[in-house]
Structure 1
């Protein structure tokens, strides 16, 4: 029986911590509503932004596992040579998309720091703090795209040797 390489993945841990924080905030909110007849309504903005951050990391995990949208039927009809090109092209497009997201998010952060100085409605936290997680955590997206592409290319090489 083959042993799996068990190592700690920082992206999995961050997602677990974010999910735990979201569940804890929601649970405390429900308890306070029923026990004290008081709700922490402003915590909703924290939960929503943690969800956005978790989604960014989850996108990287999904890329790595091959869980992104694909056209498998079309991919399967191509010969091996074209499959390599398609893998590289698809990975390049995915990375370019997230690079655009990062560029626009960094631009929004810059505008928030220099021009707008907006704060969140509920807690008065500067909104750039919520935005900053997207470009930082998209490192995991680029890592997932790379891992997906390299595993698919390795799989093609292994099939070619058989």
Structure 2
């Protein structure tokens, strides 16, 4: 039975990241309980997977309009100002995330050219962990765009 809705990559990625984190933590708990040994890399992996999941989830939250907002004051403004505030809010969110991505790209460049640091537990290059932020930022920008269009459509619908 098909629902007609397309499969969302961001939902699947967030679900897989969460499932991986839960599985890794569960295996570590079992390891500590049964053989009295803690797997050292679990913390490193789960922290970085959590950061990636947060980036993907931020895009989903923007699209759904689930981020924090000041609706009490927002509802007092006239329609034209509400629309301007929605667009301004979207531009601020996008600008902030452009800064985050810029810093992450700079950090990746520094790791590739200068530092060549490796992670403590697994010994893999740390730039691999950093790369998830600008990679998954695609979902944030898509969420900002779609969320803004949806909020503007709701405002138009309320005043039609």
Same structural fold, with TM-score higher than 0.5 when normalized by the shorter chain: yes
What CA RMSD, in Å, does the superposition of the two structures yield over aligned residues? 1.2
1:18-33 correspondence to structure 2 within 5 Å: 18-33=17-32
Unaligned residue ranges in structure 1 (runs of 5+): none
TM-score normalized with structure 1 length: 0.93
TM-score normalized with structure 2 length: 0.94
1:7-156 correspondence to structure 2 within 5 Å: 7-156=6-155
State the distance in 2 between where 1:101 and 1:74 align. 28
State the distance in 2 between where 1:68 and 1:34 align. 39
Change (3 A) 1:145 1:46: same
Quote how far apart the aligned CAs of 1:7 are. 2.7
Change (3 A) 1:84 1:65: same
Report the secondary structure of 1:132's partner residue.
Answer: helix
State the distance in 1 between where 2:71 and 2:34 align. 53
Report the secondary structure of 2:119's partner residue.
Answer: coil
Quote how far apart the aligned CAs of 1:58 are. 0.7
Unaligned residue ranges in structure 2 (runs of 5+): none
Runs of 4+ aligned residues of structure 1 deviating over 6 Å after TM superposition are none
